[in-house]
Copies of this chain bind each other. A is one copy, B any other.
Amino acid sequence: MTHPVGAATAAREASRTLVTRTGEARASAVAAMADALEAHADVLLAANAEDVAEAAARVEAGTLSPSNAARLVLDRSKLSALALGLRQIAALPDPVGRTLRATELAEGLVLTQVAAPLGVLLVIFESRPDALPQIAALAVRSGNAVLLKGGKEASRSNRALAAVLQAAIAPFVPPEVLGLLEGREAVDALLGRDDLIDLVIPRGSNALVASIQARTRIPVLGHADGVCHVYLDAAVDLVKAIPIVRDAKLDYPSACNAMETLLVHRDLVADGRLALVLASLPEVAWHASEAQAEALGLPVAPALHHEYGAAAATVVIVDDLAAAVAHIHAHGSGHTEAILTEDGSAAEAFLASVDSASVFHNASTRFADGFRYGLGAEVGISTSRIHARGPVGVEGLLTTRWLLRGQGQTVAATRDGRVVFTHRALPQPTGGG
């Protein structure tokens, strides 16, 4: 463990080298990471066993929850699954240097816009050590250096993983592109260094994300909360809707893409369909707004913007689709919302109007996820409107550069006609540079 600012300075320097290496070198580094996870399984599992033993003692003592302890555990099959995922990331086409746009500005003067790494990422993640190799692989493949700060409970696992991965990539890229940080002070020391860190990605509880966002001017990619809505339209088909509401709320109640609020068209109250929905989901602790609690015979929800993170949800009756959209804009978090309806024009109106990162028709909010979206893996889900929005894979770790290749052209010459703007779009070559 070097000093965090020293590690960040080394990562910045190494990131400059990383971007000048070939895409093949970056892919080889990721493939070598995959091989090393399997080749050094004994070392990794021994370190992990120490963390797990300590966690078991803390569960015994009541200072750690059993579910948090369970998330710590690595085994051979998990390492193989991780290796498989890393090999998929290695096999991606090189995202760095990909030409996004090519324009002939004037004769012999060609402008290209190419994808470029962001630089140095600071990723803060909680207990699961599996996240470390995944994030490291996404970073290296996209030409970024990354400083990783894991959970305290996984510190031995994270140290072993970082050492194995650094050794694995060393033949191909500078090993300083992967830095391991320990302790909250390490993060604190870097949150003020926008000269060293380009993007902070906190993965974990809402409290973690909000705390990071409050303490830095460096751009933060993440979501502070996920208050997702499902709207049951008047033309809803309950045969489809009940399994979707069940999935959205109960598949993983504490996930950020789980439903927190069920918006219901008033017709469903009158004709008894709402009662059928609620009766079909007895596992959910249903709540209502202060204004509607008495009429619905439900307890009052803590707030309209409230993330239960448990098998509980708020029911809100609305007059129509416009009222549902207005409720989402007033009380949502811009994460994921769904409309369940057989009315195609209502569905399209909802998709066009709702200003959230993900907007669905007749599908569960739980699909809002990088793997399910086909992005391969994700570094997180962004509810920011700037840069990357929704599930973020390799593309969210890239920015662009503009390259101009000329033959001596000056701007003065465009005024006297010696250089004439053509602004002709050119076919875009694919592949890295």
Residues of A within 8 A of B (CB): 16, 19-20, 97, 103, 105, 109, 111, 113, 116, 118-119, 198-199, 217, 219, 237, 239-241, 243-244, 246-247, 251, 329, 347, 349, 351-353, 355-364, 366-368, 372-374, 385-387, 389-391, 399-414, 421, 423, 433
Contacts and interface: CB of A to CB of B under 8 A. Distances in A.
B385 A118 contact: yes
Top 5 A-B residue pairs of the complex, sorted by shortest distance between their CB atoms: A363-B406, A247-B410, A240-B408, A374-B423, A366-B411
Contact of A355 (B19, B406, B408, B414): B19
A360 B411 contact: no
Contacts of A387: 386-387
16 contacts: A19-B352, A105-B373, A118-B386, A198-B385, A199-B386, A251-B410, A351-B405, A356-B401, A359-B404, A360-B403, A361-B404, A362-B406, A363-B410, A366-B410, A385-B399, A389-B400
A103 B403 CA distance: 31
Contacts of A243: 408, 410, 412-413
B411 A353 contact: no
B408 A359 contact: no
By secondary structure, the A interface counts as: mixed
A408 B103 contact: no
A258 B54 CA distance: 60
Number of copies: 2
Contact of A402 (B237, B246, B390): B390
Contact of A247 (B217, B219, B402, B411): B411
A347 to B, nearest CB: 8
A240 B404 contact: no
B386 A198 contact: yes
Contacts of A386: 118, 198-199, 219, 386-387, 399
B16 A353 contact: yes
A417 B120 CA distance: 40
A246 B413 CA distance: 12
A345 to B, nearest CB: 13
Contacts of A198: 385-386
Given A105-B367, A358-B401, A20 B406 contact: no
A385 B247 contact: no
A361 B421 contact: no
B412 A247 contact: yes
A251 B413 CA distance: 10
Contacts of A217: 217
A401 B413 CA distance: 42
A189 to B, nearest CB: 21
A253 B29 CA distance: 46
A373 B389 contact: no
Contacts of A241: 408
A389 B401 contact: yes
A367 B113 CA distance: 14
B400 A367 contact: no
Contact of A410 (B113, B244, B389, B391): B244
Contacts of A251: 410-412
Q: Which of A244, A353, A361, A402 has the most chain B CB atoms inside 10 A of its CB?
A: A402
A72 B399 CA distance: 36
Given A372-B421, A385-B198, A386-B219, A362 B399 contact: no
B404 A363 contact: yes
A401 B357 CA distance: 5
Given A240-B408, A407-B362, A410-B246, A105 B355 contact: no
Contacts of A20: 349, 352-353
A105 B390 CA distance: 16
Nearest to A373: B111
Contacts of A103: 373-374
